[in-house]
Amino acid sequence: DAEITQSPRHKITETGRQVTLACHQTWNHNNMFWYRQDLGHGLRLIHYSYGVHDTNKGEVSDGYSVSRSNTEDLPLTLESAASSQTSVYFCASSQTGIGSGGELFFGEGSRLTVL
């Protein structure tokens, strides 16, 4: 069965360290997204991609970067982790045409703690 997987599921790191969260989907979806979930804020969009070599900033992109070298993967990198980036991170993918009501398929999340 096609799926979307995130790794690691749990990560503890120190302030200033570089951290990369992996996201891999086997649906061959063009659209991929990274969200963070925080109490009181719900799901906030960090970065998104509509295809290979395409990346776009979301509403909370500062301190994060992504790259899309193939269809299946969209890794999220925190260049210098900060305590404010302690959160649960969700990767998602969708078929083309999301503006027509296409749904997102989410991974199980990666819980990141920055000490």
Partner 1 sequence: DQQVKQNSPSLSVQEGRISILNCDYTNSMFDYFLWYKKYPAEGPTFLISISSIKDKNEDGRFTVFLNKSAKHLSLHIVPSQPGDSAVYFCADTSSASKIIFGSGTRLSIRP
How many angstroms separate the CA atoms of 73 and 19, rounded?
16
Candidates 19-27, 66-74, 78-86, 92-100; binding stretch for partner 1 (CB under 8 A): 92-100
Q: Estimate the share of the chain in helix, then strand, then coil, as percent rounded to the nearest 5.
A: 5, 50, 45
Q: Among residues 42, 53, 62, 70, which is the contact residue for partner 1, using CB under 8 A?
A: 42
27 binds partner 1 (CB under 8 A): no
Q: Among residues 19, 35, 66, 78, which is the contact residue for partner 1, using CB under 8 A?
A: 35
**Going by C-beta distance under 8 Å and a sequence separation of 6 or more, which residues neighbour residue 17?**
80, 81
Q: Among residues 21, 24, 25, 33, which is the contact residue for partner 1, using CB under 8 A?
A: 33
